[in-house]
Structure 1
Amino acid sequence: MTIQELLHELQTELESYQLYGKEDTPIYGIEDDSRNVKEGYVFVAIQGYSRDGHDYIDEALQNGACAIIVDKEVPSYSVPYFNVKNSRKALGVISKSFYHSPSKDKMLIGITGTNGKTTTSYLLKQVIEANGQSCSLIGTTQNIINGEVSPSINTTPNSLGLNKLLTESNDQVVIMEVSSHALTQYRVEGMEFDYALFTNLSQDHLDYHASMEEYFEAKSMLFGMLKENGKAVVNIDDGWGEQLAHNLQSKVSLYTIGKDEQSDFRMNPKSMSPPSLEVQAGSHTITISPELKGLYNMYNVTMAFATAQLIGIDPDTIKKSLEAFAGVEGRFQVYKQQGGATAVIDYAHTPDAIFHCLTTVREQGARNIIHVFGFRGDRDPTKRASMLSTSSELSDSYILTFDNLNTVSSNNMKDTLLHLQNEHGNEKGTVIPDRTLAIKQALEWAGEEDWVVITGKGNEKYQQEYELQTSSDPDTVSLLTKA
């Protein structure tokens, strides 16, 4: 790519521009982090939530930037300057061009929804690999490219990171979790999907989206990014999914899943303990006995089955692979305790996810349920009372504790927990701010056939230091189990 080609790519996004020097000057890279800029790179200044890239233009120039892209007025510089309508979108536009549209060369599967994205992505990955195809995964817990695992910072990387990952990947298929933030922030700008999946929608991220309707519209954007022959797979048992399917009719190649008789892939859960599921597609019915527990996972299994069959994978291969799937770390991860109690760690962090998690535990025969959970600082406060109400109704006792504090002080979060318990809790609940001590107390309370359910973080690392020198919920439970 040259400066002239960059100008051409940005034509529809430009507010103004100024060229200096030769238009055939080559571009050797793109960066939105001034620290990573090298000689001959384009620097894209993006206004973030805590930092503004426009404040780091001088650093980028010192590091060798040959052009800058901005979306606000800045002083004149002696390098080509492009003022665009939105820097985030411009980053996606030029990243796609610089890396030669890598999504076109892959089978790209995008999964969106509030809950179930991670489990569905891993289910699909296992099925696809059982079919002899190599598969990359980009998601909440980690990224897996060419068999190599790396940590993920966001559920969906930005457009530059995505194009880099797709270019690096030698895998035939790429499965990607796509968040509403990614869709509205142009992180998937220029991506072209072969399959777009919708799991469900429930209250979450209303600190970012103004309403559930806006949240739904953000998720719906994924289905406008399908390739010409792309397919949409939508759960129509979910009310928002039903609305999405209605909106997509006659616009895309649409397939539906659910217990609804009109579903293209009709699911019929036969039993929850042990799990058994019938999936009917046309005149064919297949019975699957997965290890995964809970009705919500039956939807994940059905979604994976439907997508795999649309890809063209043999149903028997799909069945065997789904039945062999052992789960995802941090998603309903079970630990047997001395004395006959059971601990389960789950990522559930919405009222709906907590409902399904606790319901599943009860279905497994729990005598008493002790629930340990908290709320993230700086995140949607409107769901907190509902989360607490769900726990107080379905558990026998609960402990409110810290989750990620983010920028909220520990004293303020402790006050928040006490206020929520006083206003919306009941006699079943107590507050223990230190997460490791809350888990320790819950395990000490638990007797034979009782279940301790720890939700909110899954296998994520702790951001705070606690009294027990552990790094995550699995680490804490493992330590206390050994003790």
Structure 2
Amino acid sequence: MNLTDILYKVATTLPLTSEQANLFVSGITDNSSEVTDGDLFIAIKGVNQDGHDHIQTAIQKGAAAIIGEQIAPLLSIPYIQVENSRKTLAWAAKNFYGDPSQRKTVIGITGTNGKTTTSFLLKHLFEENGQSCSLIGTIQNVINDEVIPSRNTTPSALTLYKLLAKSKDDVVVMEVSSHGIDQYRIEGIEFDCCLFTNLHHEHLDYHGTMEAYFEKKAVLFNQLKENGVAIINTEDDWGEKLAMDLKHKGTTVITVGSNKENVLCLKDFQAQNPSVTVIESGEEATVTSPMVGIHNLYNTVMAYATAYRFGVTKQQITHTLPLFAGVGGRFEMTKLPNGVTVVIDYAHTSDALYYCLTAARSQGATKLIHVFGFRGDRDESKRTDMLRVSSIISDRYILTHDDLNSVSPSEMTHTLEKLNQSFGNEKGIVVPDRSLAIQHAIHSSSSGDWVIITGKGIESYKQVVQLETNSDKETVQLITHHQELRPNL
């Protein structure tokens, strides 16, 4: 493809010369180590590395042209300066891969909590009822039934466009993070439908304020196709604000909530066997969630509302919802031989903890023992709220290490001890090693008790633990099979 076609709608500092415009480009990359003959290399300044420092490497590996933000250096190949390399990468990928979002139904889901569960529910509902569905998100990417490992909730723009172009499925369901929006990873993609699940205290270390966090999430809805629809949970105050803003712009908005003014009005919530009555246009339908928890009822209704608008009948939804197998690391329950129930969940905000712990309570737990921690180098302002929720709902809690990142083990342990002491709650103890914390929780539980392990879901541990396991699930399995092990406390 000619460079002028790849840079369609891209603002360059100077107009392309005729030689540059007609230059043939065989591929695009922002990774100098992946450059092959004839590629366009786009230099991006990242947190730890700057692509501009690797321009010579790209040239040596055969790059045909370079794009960057810095003033044009003296190079042996064409260099095009742009204001924003990340944005340019997205538009170049869109043009190179032929604008793939126009060729299929694309559904984007954003919000603090519920993105993954709702996306898996949608994939299930579509595929059980005759529509093939690609999935792009936190746990994994699934394209044409091929499972592709996921590194970020929303992949890089280049990866995202490659996946969209590769997909031969009828529908693509995509989780969209605020980081992904801010870093132009979804730039240029047009959506048939965008969902807003909720907005809670999270990522303020990145966005600064809840208002800025909200504004970034709202950008997704500017990328709806001409006849696109927004489906919004208005039980959330930020969702109600978003719905009002979009209606003022003339966007088609489907609201979901308990207020009678909502398009989908919800009533008669049942927690024990999760179900809710949905009223739409005067007609009532009972929607049963295949997962525990009121929060999952909302996820289920969001998926219900979306699938119905894209070709799945209400009868089909009702028939196939009970067949949903759940999502790994999202309220994933294991019944132990001694009568204890263990739940592994990704919850890492105060709201998510509340929903997770109350869901366990609704199932008749005798006692709740909660194991959790806080990630190093992440939003510290949410920690007290998380601890408060656990101390109120659980019977006992164990603070332990989550991903430390650049924080030392001793520093995080000190932080946990200080939080526990300053909170003044006798329910809690600190067990730094995560595997031993889980072991202690299980060994100190009795039949009818529930052990709730939150924060990581299916993620692998980033640091070595004493029981030499690699995840919360592996730790639970090991303890279950080796009950003779005892914590070294």
1:18·1:81 contact (CA, 8 Å) conserved in 2? no
1:267·1:278 contact (CA, 8 Å) conserved in 2? yes
Counterparts of 2:129 and 2:110 in 1: how far apart (Å)?
Answer: 24
Residues 149-173 of structure 1: CA deviation (Å, up to 9, x unaligned): 1210000001111110011111010
Counterparts of 1:296 and 1:369 in 2: how far apart (Å)?
Answer: 19
1:153-172 equivalent positions in 2, closer than 5 A: 153-172=151-170
1:397-412 equivalent positions in 2, closer than 5 A: 397-412=396-411
SS at match of 2:227: strand
Report the identity percentage. Answer: 50
Q: Does residue 215 of structure 1 match 2:213?
A: yes
The alpha-carbon deviation at position 78 of structure 1 amounts to 1.9
Counterparts of 2:76 and 2:472 in 1: how far apart (Å)?
Answer: 52
Match of 1:3 in 2: 3
Match of 1:350 in 2: 349
1:290·1:324 contact (CA, 8 Å) conserved in 2? no
Match of 1:321 in 2: 320
The alpha-carbon deviation at position 57 of structure 1 amounts to 1.0
SS at match of 1:207: helix
Counterparts of 1:425 and 1:470 in 2: how far apart (Å)?
Answer: 32
The alpha-carbon deviation at position 7 of structure 1 amounts to 4.9
SS at match of 2:207: coil
SS at match of 2:373: strand
The alpha-carbon deviation at position 266 of structure 1 amounts to 1.5
1:52-451 equivalent positions in 2, closer than 5 A: 52-73=50-71, 75-250=73-248, 251-451=250-450
Counterparts of 2:432 and 2:468 in 1: how far apart (Å)?
Answer: 15
The alpha-carbon deviation at position 25 of structure 1 amounts to 2.2
1:39·1:66 contact (CA, 8 Å) conserved in 2? yes
Match of 2:463 in 1: 464
Counterparts of 1:306 and 1:291 in 2: how far apart (Å)?
Answer: 16
Counterparts of 2:33 and 2:146 in 1: how far apart (Å)?
Answer: 25
1:372·1:401 contact (CA, 8 Å) conserved in 2? yes
The alpha-carbon deviation at position 8 of structure 1 amounts to 4.5
1:41·1:64 contact (CA, 8 Å) conserved in 2? yes
The alpha-carbon deviation at position 425 of structure 1 amounts to 4.9
Q: TM-score, normalised by structure 1?
A: 0.97
SS at match of 1:190: coil
The residue identity in structure 1 corresponding to 2:128 is A
SS at match of 2:399: strand
The alpha-carbon deviation at position 23 of structure 1 amounts to 3.9
Residues 95-132 of structure 1: CA deviation (Å, up to 9, x unaligned): 10000100100100000000000000011111111220
SS at match of 1:376: coil
The residue identity in structure 1 corresponding to 2:439 is K
The alpha-carbon deviation at position 372 of structure 1 amounts to 0.4
SS at match of 1:14: coil
Of the structure 1 ranges 450-459 and 461-470, higher mean CA displacement relative to structure 2 is found in 461-470
Unmatched segments (≥5 aa) in structure 1: none
The alpha-carbon deviation at position 4 of structure 1 amounts to 3.2
Unmatched segments (≥5 aa) in structure 2: 483-489
Number of residue equivalences: 481
Counterparts of 2:262 and 2:185 in 1: how far apart (Å)?
Answer: 32
SS at match of 2:286: strand
Residues 386-443 of structure 1: CA deviation (Å, up to 9, x unaligned): 1111111111111111111112222221222122212235111111111101000000
Counterparts of 2:16 and 2:252 in 1: how far apart (Å)?
Answer: 44
1:17·1:81 contact (CA, 8 Å) conserved in 2? no
Please give the root-mean-square deviation of Cα atoms over the aligned residues, in Å: 1.4
Residues 226-285 of structure 1: CA deviation (Å, up to 9, x unaligned): 000100000011000000001001421110111111111112244211122211111221
Cα 1:52–1:199 change in 2 (3 A) is: same
1:17·1:80 contact (CA, 8 Å) conserved in 2? no
1:346·1:455 contact (CA, 8 Å) conserved in 2? yes
Counterparts of 2:56 and 2:422 in 1: how far apart (Å)?
Answer: 51
Residues 451-471 of structure 1: CA deviation (Å, up to 9, x unaligned): 100000001111111111211
The residue identity in structure 1 corresponding to 2:476 is V
Of the structure 1 ranges 270-279 and 59-68, higher mean CA displacement relative to structure 2 is found in 270-279
Counterparts of 1:74 and 1:420 in 2: how far apart (Å)?
Answer: 51
Counterparts of 1:450 and 1:334 in 2: how far apart (Å)?
Answer: 13
Cα 1:426–1:16 change in 2 (3 A) is: farther
SS at match of 1:78: coil
The alpha-carbon deviation at position 18 of structure 1 amounts to 7.0
Q: TM-score, normalised by structure 2?
A: 0.96
Cα 1:19–1:436 change in 2 (3 A) is: farther
SS at match of 2:47: coil
Residues 337-394 of structure 1: CA deviation (Å, up to 9, x unaligned): 1221111000000010001101111111111111100111111111111111111111
Counterparts of 1:311 and 1:360 in 2: how far apart (Å)?
Answer: 30
The residue identity in structure 1 corresponding to 2:256 is I
